[in-house]
A = this chain, B = another copy of it.
Amino acid sequence: MTERDVLALRTDADEETCRRVLQVLARVGDKWTLLVIGTLREGTMRFGELHRAVTGISQRMLTLTLRQLERDGLVGRTVHPSVPPKVEYALTELGRTLLGTALQLAWWAADHIDEIEANRRDYDSALSPAGD
């Protein structure tokens, strides 16, 4: 698969494949996915641990995010039939390969965040001439 097949999504490319790939990228880029995957990097965690570890996530969104990840086969879910219930989550092999790739992007972001924020300041101050 070539670059243009993956990212271009031109009318004359294989749109079907592009759509499927983009769908995965959208999933990865949503508000909580990378945070949850990144948190599970350290090993198996219980629902409550994850909830405390991922600052700001609601119970609802943690549940939804974990369900998506489980459905995609990126995270495994183990229920221990005890009272009270105990449910553990861990990255699968597939999940670990994604983590590696996602970290590259995170590093890019970390490397360039200062430049990006400087660009934003320039852009904004050029629009609001305040003291010009």
Query: Which residues of A are at the interface with B, using a C-beta cutoff of 8 A?
Result: 1, 3-11, 15, 17, 20-22, 24-26, 28-31, 34-35, 37-39, 41, 52-55, 70-74, 94, 97-99, 101-110, 112-113, 115-117, 119-120, 122-124
Contact = CB atoms under 8 A, between A and B. Distances in A.
A31 to B, nearest CB: 7
A1 B110 CA distance: 8
10 contacts: A5-B110, A6-B38, A6-B106, A6-B110, A7-B99, A11-B52, A21-B106, A24-B116, A70-B123, A102-B105
A98 B70 CA distance: 29
Given A7-B99, A9-B38, 9 more contacts: A7-B39, A17-B110, A17-B113, A24-B112, A25-B109, A26-B29, A72-B116, A98-B112, A101-B108
- Of the candidates A22, A31, A97, the one having the most CB atoms from chain B within 10 angstroms of its own CB is A22
Q: Please list the 10 inter-chain residue pairs (A to B) with the smallest Cβ-Cβ separation, ordered nearest first.
A: A29-B29, A7-B38, A73-B119, A24-B109, A6-B106, A101-B108, A71-B123, A21-B109, A72-B116, A1-B110
A15 B54 CA distance: 11
Nearest to A71: B123
A113 B25 contact: no
A10 B36 CA distance: 11
